[in-house]
Amino acid sequence: MKVKELSDIIDGRVLTGEVGLETDVTGMYACDLLSWVMSHVNKGNAWITVHTHLNVAAVALLTEASCVIIPESISVEEATIKKAVQEGIVIISTKLSAYEICCRACKAGI
Amino acid sequence: MGLSNVLKLHFDIPANDFVSAGEASSSVKKTLSQLGIAPQVIKKSAIAMYEAEINAVIHANGGTADIEIDQDKVIIKIQDEGPGIPDLDLAMQEGFSTAPDTVRQMGFGAGMGLPNMKRYADELKINTEVGRGTTVIIRVNFA
């Protein structure tokens, strides 16, 4: 599944423009401890986190996550979005909770 | 790269600056990618360096990163003039952290920084002196 399709499935809103939407999603990962995320996210995973600060972009870049999903309509800092766009990282906002995101992704075959 | 070639990179790690924390690691990751290094090796190097970089920001008012890449390894040296680590064995334990609450709220300070460095480095050397600072040297082999 592509990032764009996943975004549609979770009623997502892509905050970072057109870049990276055709990347394949290899799995889902939900966690907010950044060290844990660093060592457990696999390349291509969609990463769900409530953090919205700039280091989210750095962690996504280093782990090669296919996208970052911010749940429950948490607002994302403009600087984070700007940085993500620069680095080609996709950030998706959705009103769903992390649990609901995973349920929908699972139903869709991820 | 020829046999005698060593690529050297230097970065300043700014103090208390979570905005640019991770910049040096990201930059090294890009360089290793451009050199065609295996993805698994790049991941190990990037994670270990990121953890060291974040530690310097959190605990030591920043520091410096010096990277040496030759044909068979990358050596990452992160140096700070921070408070030093009084009990290194304790600090190496997963879950042990002295990070302040403000930092934990950002998702750091889980007590996994040093254990992650140890896990992903092929060799990890830590020289630390209370009141003087800490130097972390991470070696990751390409093969």
Write out pLDDT tens, residues A45-98: 999 999 999 999 999 999 999 999 999 999 999 999 999 999 999 999 999 999
Write out pLDDT tens, residues A26-44: 999 999 999 999 999 999 9
Rg of the Cα atoms in chain B: 15
**Checking DSSP bridges between strand A13-14 and strand A91-93, what pairing results, if any?**
antiparallel
On whether any CB of chain A is under 8 Å from the CB of B112, the answer is yes
User: What pLDDT shows up at residue B2?
Assistant: 52
Q: What is the CATH number of the domain that holds A28?
A: 3.40.1390.20
Domain that holds residue A83: 3-107
Q: Where are the domains of chain B?
A: 9-141
Q: What is the 3-state secondary structure (H, E, C) of chain A?
A: CEHHHHHHHCCCEECCCCCCCCCECCEEEECCCHHHHHHHCCCCEEEECCCCCCHHHHHHHHHCCCEEEECCCCCCCHHHHHHHHHHCCCEEECCCCHHHHHHHHHHCCC
User: What pLDDT shows up at residue B21?
Assistant: 83
Under the banding of pLDDT at 50, 70 and 90, the label for residue B3 is low
- Say if the ipTM goes beyond 0.95: no
Q: Which CATH superfamily, name and number, covers B9-141?
A: Histidine kinase-like ATPase, C-terminal domain (3.30.565.10)
User: What pLDDT shows up at residue B17?
Assistant: 79
Write out pLDDT tens, residues B57-112: 999 999 999 999 999 999 999 999 999 999 999 999 999 999 999 999 999 999 99
How many other CB atoms are there within 10 angstroms of residue B134's CB atom?
25
Residues of A in contact with B120 (CB under 8 A): 39
On whether any CB of chain B is under 8 Å from the CB of A51, the answer is yes
Identity of the residue in A35, A53, A79 whose CB atom sits nearest the CB atom of B113: A35
Helices marked H in chain B: 23-34, 39-60, 88-91, 101-104, 113-120
State how far the Cα of A20 lies from the Cα of B47, in Å rounded to an integer. 22
Q: What are residue A2's DSSP bridge partners?
A: A24
Count of domains observed in chain A: 1
Measured in angstroms, the CA of B6 and the nearest CA of chain A are apart by: 24
Identity of the residue in A36, A39, A62 whose CB atom sits nearest the CB atom of B29: A62
